[in-house]
Chain A
Amino acid sequence: MFLADYIKSVYNGVTSLLKGMRMTGYYFVHPKEIITQQYPEVKQVLPERFRGEVVMTHNENNEHRCTGCTACELACPNATIKVVTRFDITPDGKKKKALETFVYHLELCTLCNLCIAACPTDAIRMAQTFEHSVYDRKLLTKRLDKPGSKLMEGVE
């Protein structure tokens, strides 16, 4: 009886192993069903909502939409954003807040999208870049407004 059980269990073991092997064999002879991507030779196009890093949009006249309201800075959980503002004097003699520099620390950013959701003027957005490795950490601290850029006409 013991021997019969033993032989039976060996037989069961081998058959279920073969069943598994049959599937391995199936994929071996159907290489089209294999889905490996040949990165970095072939780069995937990422969807437009992919959160890679925060960037500021500029138009062709080098104008941005950031009013310097610091809503994004307050929304950010990690103090990733530092908005430096200045006061401009408008022609009618009033003081007006304007963006001086927009500092962004990519190394601190968790890509949570809260700053972008908070911005009232859609000045910033997520870019689809993802290869962020650099040799020096300092290179990850970025200034998002382009030099010499100014506020777009009509954005309050």
Chain B
Amino acid sequence: MIEEVGTTTEGDLIINVGPQHPSTHGVLHLVITLNGETVKNVEPRLGYIHRSIEKMCESLTYRQFIYVTSRMDYLSSHINNQACALVVEKALKIEVPERAQAIRVLMAELTRMASHLLWWGALGMDVGAFTPFFHAFRERELINDIMEETCGTRLTMNYMVPGGVMADLHPDFQKKVKEFITMFKSKIDEYDTLVTGNIIFQNRMKGVGYISGEDALSYGCTGPVLRASGVKCDIRKLAPYDGYDKLQFEEVIETGGDSYARYLVRMRELKQSLSIIEQLLDNIPEGDFQAKTKAVLKPPKGEFYTRVETARGELGVYVISEGGLTPYRIKFRSPGFSNLSALHHMTKGSKIGDLVATMGTLDLVIPDIDR
């Protein structure tokens, strides 16, 4: 283990990137071995934002532990909450009303869009363009306003509860979302002008950070990272939950396997999410927004697992219940952790400047990796 900045016996330079470094999007620490400008080895170090969320959850009841998971992948907090709500519902065999399912899907897709927008802006910054950030945040702000109105908060919502959602949609919800859709459609072409079509950007992305589908699978990558290497892995299609099977949408697959393919997957997913929202928005079923549940939730003894597709990939929640008030053990399988583990494979032999760009296309959220 080499901690200091220095040279190895072969004369390679070892540098630390992070934990306080703007391009790692959080407190991620990378120990990089360099030969000149060429990356020989990348070793992520974790633990700078470990809050032992899994352990914390063991002392919280089945209603309380959901709010903590908003603090994991804070950019798709709705979807984290949804996964936890789903696992409790599975354990207790709660039927979720159709209206609640529709609201959940709407919220999840809005979150996915907000997350991808933020990623797009941040990726721009990673490759040296500052303007995309402002454009992305302008649109994301509208989504946050919608969230604020219905859920009460902008980032850590805690809106999904076992049995449905915490409150009904705000009366203005449909109107606001329609406004957002109109606005977004008029702006999405700007994105292509500004970034996708830019030749400098393409040169930074194409052929960089390649990983084959097989390798990505063996590293346990999921989500857009794996789909960019041509492997089908969308949980919304493979194991539909909350009524995704009733919706028409396309699983976005690219075969390039490089940074550009990962970029395109997320850009195309934005449009897919938009189409899901459009399908649902005028057809939200009437009914309850929450199933009747007991005040105290006590799942039977056993083991329960659910998985959902967050903006970053597959999130699995594994709960062992002893029949008590609190879970005996909770384990989260977070997408960021596995995606990060492939970073070494993608960047070995590339230039150090490309390392940051490749890392940007992985869309890492550090609290998700380091729970």
Contacts and interface: CB of A to CB of B under 8 A. Distances in A.
Interface of A: 9, 12-13, 15-17, 19-20, 23-24, 35, 46-47, 49-51, 75-77, 110-114, 117-118, 126
Contact of A50 (B141, B152, B190): B152
**How many B residues are at the interface, by size bracket?**
20 to 34
Given A12-B199, A16-B198, A49-B170, A111 B64 contact: no
A117 B194 CA distance: 45
A19 B197 contact: yes
Contacts, number: 69
Contacts of B5: none
A77 B64 contact: yes
A17 B201 CA distance: 10
Interface string B193-216: 110011110000000000000000
A108 to B, nearest CB: 13
Contact of A77 (B67, B138, B198): B67
Nearest to A19: B193
11 contacts: A15-B199, A16-B200, A17-B198, A19-B193, A23-B190, A49-B170, A77-B65, A77-B67, A113-B158, A114-B64, A117-B166
A75 B151 contact: no
A114 B63 contact: yes
Contact of A17 (B63, B65, B166, B200): B200
A77 B199 CA distance: 51
A16 B197 CA distance: 7
B100 to A, nearest CB: 15
Contacts of A17: 198, 200
Contacts of B166: 113, 117
A114 B199 CA distance: 50
A63 to B, nearest CB: 26
Contacts of A118: 295
Given A76-B64, A77-B64, A118-B295, 20 more contacts: A12-B199, A16-B197, A16-B198, A19-B193, A19-B198, A24-B131, A35-B141, A49-B148, A49-B150, A49-B170, A75-B64, A77-B65, A110-B156, A111-B153, A112-B67, A113-B152, A113-B166, A114-B63, A114-B64, A114-B67
Q: Max chain A CB contacts within 10 Å: which of B150, B152, B194, B199?
A: B152
B158 A112 contact: yes
Given A75-B63, A114-B67, A23 B152 contact: no
A50 B200 CA distance: 43
Nearest to A46: B148
Nearest to B167: A49
Contacts of B239: none
Nearest to B135: A23
A50 B141 CA distance: 15
A23 B131 CA distance: 10
B141 A23 contact: no
Nearest to A49: B152
A77 B63 CA distance: 9
B264 interface: no
Interface string B122-166: 000000010100000010010000001111110010100100001
B68 interface: yes
B160 to A, nearest CB: 12
A126 B152 contact: yes
Given A75-B63, A117-B166, A20 B152 contact: no
Nearest to A51: B152
B174 to A, nearest CB: 15
Contacts of A114: 63-64, 67, 158
A52 to B, nearest CB: 9
Contacts of A35: 138, 141
Contact of A20 (B151, B161, B198, B295): B198
B60 interface: yes
A12 B203 CA distance: 11
Interface in B62-85: 63-65, 67-68
B294 to A, nearest CB: 13
A13 B190 contact: no
Contacts of B63: 75, 114
